Amino acid sequence: MINGADTVFILFSTSLVMLMTPGLAFFYGGMVRRKNILSVLMQCFIALCLLSLHWMFFGYSLSFAPGNVFWGGFKWAGLSGVGLEPYAAYSATIPHQAFMIFQMMFAVITPALIIGAFAERMRFSAFLAFILLWATFVYDPICHWVWGEGGWLKSLGVLDFAGGIVVHTSAGIAALVTTIFMGKRKNLEHTPSPHNLPFVVLGTALLWFGWFGFNAGSALAANGLAVNAFVATNAAAAAAGLSWALLEWIRNGKPTVFGMVTGSIAGLATVTPASGFVSVMSAIIIGVSASVLCFIAVSITKPKFKYDDSLDAFGVHGVGGILGTLLTGLFASKAINSAGANGLFYGNYKQFFIQLFAVIVVVIYTFVVTFIIYKLVDVFFRMRVSEKDESMGLDLTQHHERAYTVLE
Amino acid sequence: MKLVIAIIQPYKLEEVKEELYKSEINLITVSEVLGHGRQMGVTEVYRGHKETGNLLRKIRLEIAVNENYVEPAIKAIVKGAKTGEAGDGKIFVLDLNECVRIRTEERGPVAIG
Amino acid sequence: MKLVIAIIQPYKLEEVKEELYKSEINLITVSEVLGHGRQMGVTEVYRGAKETGNLLRKMRLEIAVNDNYLEPAIKAIVKGAKTGETGDGKIFVLELKECVRIRTEERGPVAIG
């Protein structure tokens, strides 16, 4: 039975999540040097185009069709059988296609998150091949395991409300793999400076706004649970942004704009798996922990290991996603979501180990398969641009355009 | 003829311009540059990574003058730009071999100003 | 005294700065300019309309030095900026008649650096 309010809410949430990819484009675009901003905007936008089609042709089927425990198969390829009637296993009150397009936006932004790791040095053709293969062989299967009908991690009882494992852990680990194998950017010893911090702030604003659709929409109905996820999302983002600024104030003497918005994004990523299972007060604790751990990952650990995760895709999304998934195992409460489970703090220690197991499995799977895809694409397309193209910038060499004119 | 190039603090531009106008020097070219001298660069911090010794924003003036205006120009710039602290800037004076007013094709001292 | 003006590739600025510091030359002024030499311009395409031979972004350095620092400055710039490909840039040297440190009003060689 289709419910009008639920359908409106899901379509609206879909629009919000769609806006996150352009938001991410500006968030990342402001962080690169100005010779590369168009390449980042282009990569994000083309992900929206390419992965939308991938999703309708076969991605949705691989992820959500009732196939085996590992993936959904091709039963729903080309949207055959995905109609305007509800599909009760996912949501009994909205058209099946509404669920499909809501999930599409998740499949778009997840590979786009990885851009932060290889920004400023990847060939465009290699990028297209990489995200298409990655969406197909990493995102779609993991999505099926955790959210799909019959997925094996779902059957184990893993809790992931809006994508701590499926979105942030997978993208974060993929970011780590690509950044390690691609190597550092050139000519960066003295100037890792973001070229346009206002863009980073604009991107954060769009992401925070879109995240309401991401998390609240994952309730798949306009109900109390959606409101809980909505409020918890805002609470974690606020707590994380504030605590990152405080950490910097204490450690470096001044709170920075860049640090504050980074904290907010870390809080949003971390609360994602938990938002529909935990109380608002727990979400605040989750936000603060996100700031502390991601701060350590980005500002203290990363410089020691000397890998060049250009825009901290791993440090923020990977670390945040893993942390959030584990914290869900601590703070989840059946009082909030009766369809969920109690976490360790509510007397069910098993849930924590289920979460931990899921994280380990997804980290290993993502690491291995991303590595294989990376090597494959490198052989056929060559991942990295030439040294000369890198120093001239990707905007001019990959797209024959420049973002800012010097005169007029 | 001489070409006077001055590197000054950005916030001193208005005062220097005023002093130059008082000395009847009206033709100046201003550009924004980055400079590095004895003054310490400011520290910038991005996600915890500190960067010091960056170049600082400065204003560069170019003024073409006839010989008798060289000293007035220097005095005017010093008067407008001096605070007594490091970072006040420098003035360079170069020989100017030729000057052409494009509109009239006049050359030499008459083309200046 | 000499004024050294160098036009270099933007991404070589850090290396040149480092080489100059090694030669104890700290006072430099940097500005962004557009240049066109033998190097081909890059092709840009906007909605299908091709534009080639555009001016390329370059960095312009100005360095005032005393005569005994002239050769070290030139060597440092070459060392930092040279790749062997077209587009590496140029160095120009001009006679500097006068130099004023605005803060102290000192003049001549003592005011440089």
Structural domain including B103 reads 2-111
Q: Which residues of B touch A256 (CB under 8 A)?
A: 45-46
Pair A37, A395: CB distance under 8 Å:
yes
- Among the ranges given (A270-284, A381-395, B32-46, B84-98), the one the predictor scored with the smallest mean pLDDT: B32-46
pLDDT in tens, C69-100: 999 999 999 999 998 888 888 999 999 999 99
**Contact between C99 and B93 using a beta-carbon 8 Å cutoff:** yes
Retrieve residue B94's tokens: 């170069």
Q: What is residue A51's predicted lDDT score, i.e. its pLDDT?
A: 98
pLDDT in tens, C13-41: 888 988 998 998 888 899 988 877 666 66
Q: What is residue B27's predicted lDDT score, i.e. its pLDDT?
A: 84
**Contact between C102 and B2 using a beta-carbon 8 Å cutoff:** no
- In chain A, which residue's Cα lies nearest the Cα of C48? A400
Which of A190, A258, A300 is facing B46, going by the closest CB pair?
A258
Average pLDDT over residues B94-109: 89
What is the average pLDDT value for chain B, to the nearest integer?
87
Tally the C-alpha atoms within 13 A of residue A327's C-alpha that lie toward its C-beta.
29
Spatial CB neighbours of C50, under 8 Å, sequence gap ≥ 6? C43, C44
Q: Phi and psi for A226 in degrees, rounded to 5?
A: -60, -40
Interface test with A, best of C42, C85, C88 (most A CBs within 10 A): C42
pLDDT in tens, A230-275: 999 999 999 999 999 999 999 988 999 999 999 999 999 999 999 9
Q: Give me the interface pTM, i.e. the ipTM.
A: 0.82
Q: Which residues of A touch C32 (CB under 8 A)?
A: 406
Which of B38, B90, B95 is facing C102, going by the closest CB pair?
B90
Q: What is residue A190's predicted lDDT score, i.e. its pLDDT?
A: 56
All chains having 3 or more CB pairs closer than 8 angstroms to chain C? A, B
Number of structural domains, chain B? 1
Predicted confidence (pLDDT) at residue A163 exceeds the cutoff of 60 = yes
Question: In which band, very low, low, confident or very high, does the pLDDT at A191 lie, cut at 50, 70 and 90?
Answer: low
Task: Give percent above pLDDT 90 in chain A.
Answer: 87
Q: What DSSP designation does B62 have?
A: E
Residue A408 lies in a domain: no
Distance from CA of C68 to the nearest CA of B (A): 18
The burial of A380, by beta-carbon neighbours within 10 Å (0-12 exposed, 13-18 middle, 19 or more buried), is given as: exposed
Interface test with C, best of A402, A404, A407, A408 (most C CBs within 10 A): A402
Residue A212 lies in a domain: yes
Question: In which band, very low, low, confident or very high, does the pLDDT at A375 lie, cut at 50, 70 and 90?
Answer: very high
**Contact between A392 and C42 using a beta-carbon 8 Å cutoff:** yes
Spatial CB neighbours of C56, under 8 Å, sequence gap ≥ 6? C34, C35, C36, C39, C41, C42, C87
Q: What DSSP designation does B84 have?
A: S
Number of structural domains, chain A? 1
Strands B56-65 and B29-36: antiparallel
- In chain A, which residue's Cα lies nearest the Cα of C85? A388
pLDDT in tens, B19-71: 999 999 988 899 989 887 666 566 677 777 776 656 788 999 999 999 999 99
Which of C31, C98, C103 is facing B86, going by the closest CB pair?
C103
H/E element holding C75? Answer: helix C70-81
- Among the ranges given (A11-20, A134-143, A165-174, C43-52), the one the predictor scored with the smallest mean pLDDT: C43-52
What is the CATH number for A328?
1.10.3430.10
Q: Does C110 touch chain B (CB under 8 A)?
A: no
Question: In which band, very low, low, confident or very high, does the pLDDT at A102 lie, cut at 50, 70 and 90?
Answer: very high
d(CA A26, CA A41): 7
- In chain A, which residue's Cα lies nearest the Cα of C56? A406
What is the CATH number for C36?
3.30.70.120
- Among the ranges given (A41-50, A87-96, A326-335, C12-21), the one the predictor scored with the smallest mean pLDDT: C12-21
**Contact between C14 and A191 using a beta-carbon 8 Å cutoff:** yes
**Contact between A400 and C14 using a beta-carbon 8 Å cutoff:** no
Residue labelled with tokens 């000397």 = A306
Distance from CA of A188 to the nearest CA of C (A): 9
Q: Which residues of C touch A391 (CB under 8 A)?
A: 9, 11
Q: What is residue B55's predicted lDDT score, i.e. its pLDDT?
A: 75
**Contact between A300 and B48 using a beta-carbon 8 Å cutoff:** yes
Strand, helix or coil at B36? Answer: strand
pLDDT in tens, A112-121: 999 999 999 9
- In chain C, which residue's Cα lies nearest the Cα of A407? C34
Q: Does C2 touch chain B (CB under 8 A)?
A: no
Distance from CA of B46 to the nearest CA of C (A): 19
3 state SS for chain A:
CCCHHHHHHHHHHHHHHHHHHHHHHHHHHCCCCCCCHHHHHHHHHHHHHHHHHHHHHHHHHHHHCCCCCCCCCCCCHHHCCCCCCCECCCECCCCHHHHHHHHHHHHHHHHHHHHHHHCCCECHHHHHHHHHHHHHHHHHHHHHHHHCCCCHHHHHCCCCCCCHHHHHHHHHHHHHHHHHHHCCCCCCCCCCCCCCHHHHHHHHHHHHHHHHHHHHHHHCCCCHHHHHHHHHHHHHHHHHHHHHHHHHHHHHCCCCHHHHHHHHHHHHHHHCCCCCCCCHHHHHHHHHHHHHHHHHHHHHHHHHHCCCCCCCHHHHHHHHHHHHHHHHHHHCCCCCCCCCCCCHHHCCHHHHHHHHHHHHHHHHHHHHHHHHHHHHHHHHHCCECCHHHHHHCHHHHHHCCCCCCCCC
d(CA B13, CA B7): 10
Retrieve residue A310's tokens: 């250009």
Question: In which band, very low, low, confident or very high, does the pLDDT at A132 lie, cut at 50, 70 and 90?
Answer: very high
Q: What is residue A65's predicted lDDT score, i.e. its pLDDT?
A: 97
Distance from CA of C84 to the nearest CA of B (A): 27
Retrieve residue A234's tokens: 């805002």
pLDDT in tens, A277-324: 999 999 999 999 999 999 999 988 888 888 888 899 999 999 999 999
Residue A141 lies in a domain: yes
Structural domain including A78 reads 4-399
